[in-house]
Amino acid sequence: MLKPSEVMLFDDPEVPTTLDELIDVTGAESIQYPNKLECCTGPIMGVREDVTWAVGLEKVETVEKYADIMVTSCPFCYLTYERCQLVQENSPDVPVVHYPQLLGLALGIDYEELGFDNNRIDASVILGFMED
């Protein structure tokens, strides 16, 4: 996020498309789904962890209906969406990857070199998509 948006002129704050475009150039497909633009609430994790996990899990459950992998450029989103699945029982196992990991694969960098072993939810399913 770059603020104030009227000064930075980086992306439309109401309908941002930059991450979608960056995902698309890797050969992956960015999709639209309900609540896509809602905040993960990661910044309030230290105060209301219960809210962060609930909001995160709701989004992950939505993503599970539409996509196989979640890609994020925000460290808070990454932590929230991955961790909420690990701390709550019966949650989905939707892999969450950092955009640079996706970009690295698209550029031909080896999976292991991109730090995927640090992802807590196995993201190796991405290899099948990147080979197509």
Q: How many other CB atoms are there within 10 angstroms of residue 105's CB atom?
A: 23
User: Which residues are 98's β-sheet partners?
Assistant: 72
pTM for this prediction: 0.87
Domains of the chain with CATH codes: 40-131 (3.40.50.11810)
CA distances, 54 to each of 1, 32, 83, 96, 120 (Å): 23, 21, 11, 17, 19
Q: What is the pLDDT of residues 56-99, one digit of tens each?
A: 999 999 999 999 999 999 999 999 999 999 998 888 999 999 99
Q: What is the pLDDT of residue 14?
A: 80
